[in-house]
């Protein structure tokens, strides 16, 4: 399948999911996850009009960021080690994986040095899988209170990864739980500005995520394909 036909196919499925759930297409941002593909493919994606790029490791993202930073918005979607914060903050426009206080402190300190604000998604482990990163849902409220002192961080929404399911419908409860958690947190008025965003849905389950309120879907394989690449 060519890149163009994959984009068309994803766009159709996305519009269908919007129709089914009474949502507006323009309320959903596609983030093209380019971690499995070359710089050339990432450039082709941007040429096709998808200007939000997601990457999960700085060493692999570096050449893409350098080539595309003027044209694209960059999202850091992978787990972020504290000692990698200096590489990423100031380059990536959004962080999707804020899940612990030590990381919040490191991001804040770096952002203060650069005199910038950093919009962040709080990553939540809704499924409870051991292998998944993220805050326990019950701890997110306290986490929001704890990061208030790091005023360079703007918590703009929640992010989660659902377990891979052969039947995508099985992920619905996870996405619904994340939406309910966001709505509940907004009602508590512990936030300076409401968290509007939900980063959820990947290749396997993005339609269900949209039906449950996703504002950003992170699409790798289904959108840009997967290429054999050298590690590095
Ligand atoms: C790799 C990755 C994606 C995209 O994965 P696909 O299943 O290929 O769409 C989305 N989100 C995160 C956090 C990822 O690491």
Mutate which of 53, 77, 210 for ligand 1 pocket (most atoms within 8 A of beta carbon): 77
Mutate which of 202, 221, 222 for ligand 1 pocket (most atoms within 8 A of beta carbon): 202
- Evaluate: CB of 137 within 6 angstroms of ligand 1: no
CATH number for the domain whose boundaries are 3-224: 3.20.20.10
User: Which pTM value belongs to this model?
Assistant: 0.97
> What is the reported pLDDT for 232?
45
Low-confidence ranges of the chain (pLDDT < 70): 229-232
Per-residue pLDDT tens digits for 148-183: 999 999 999 999 999 999 999 999 999 999 999 999
Q: Which residue's alpha carbon is at the smallest distance from atom 6 of ligand 1?
A: 220
Largest Cα–Cα separation, the chain: 49
> What is the reported pLDDT for 140?
98
17 CA → ligand 1 middle, Å: 19
> What is the reported pLDDT for 25?
98
> What is the reported pLDDT for 119?
98
Domain boundaries, the chain: 3-224
Q: Which residue's alpha carbon is at the smallest distance from atom 4 of ligand 1?
A: 220
> What is the reported pLDDT for 230?
58
């Amino acid at each position: 399948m060519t890149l163009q036909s994959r984009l068309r196919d994803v766009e159709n499925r996305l519009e269908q999911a919007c129709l089914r759930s009474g949502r507006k297409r323009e309320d959903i941002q596609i983030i093209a996850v380019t971690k499995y593909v070359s710089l050339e493919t990432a450039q082709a994606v941007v040429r096709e009009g998808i200007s939000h790029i997601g990457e999960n490791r700085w060493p692999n993202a570096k050449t893409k960021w350098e080539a595309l930073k003027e044209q694209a918005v960059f999202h850091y979607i992978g787990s972020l080690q504290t000692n990698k914060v200096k590489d990423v903050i100031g380059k990536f426009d959004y962080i999707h994986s804020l899940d612990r206080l030590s990381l919040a402190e490191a991001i804040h300190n770096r952002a203060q040095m650069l005199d910038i604000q950093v919009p962040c998604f709080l990553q939540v482990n809704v499924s409870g899988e051991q292998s998944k990163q993220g805050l326990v849902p019950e701890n997110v409220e306290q986490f929001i209170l704890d990061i208030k002192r790091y005023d360079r961080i703007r918590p703009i929404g929640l992010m989660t990864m659902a377990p891979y399911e052969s039947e995508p419908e099985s992920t619905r409860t996870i996405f619904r739980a994340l939406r309910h958690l966001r709505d509940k947190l907004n009602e508590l008025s512990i936030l300076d500005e409401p968290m509007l965003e939900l980063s959820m849905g990947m290749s396997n389950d993005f339609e269900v995520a949209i039906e449950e309120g996703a504002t950003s879907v992170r699409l790798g394989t289904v959108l840009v394909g997967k290429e054999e690449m050298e590690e590095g």
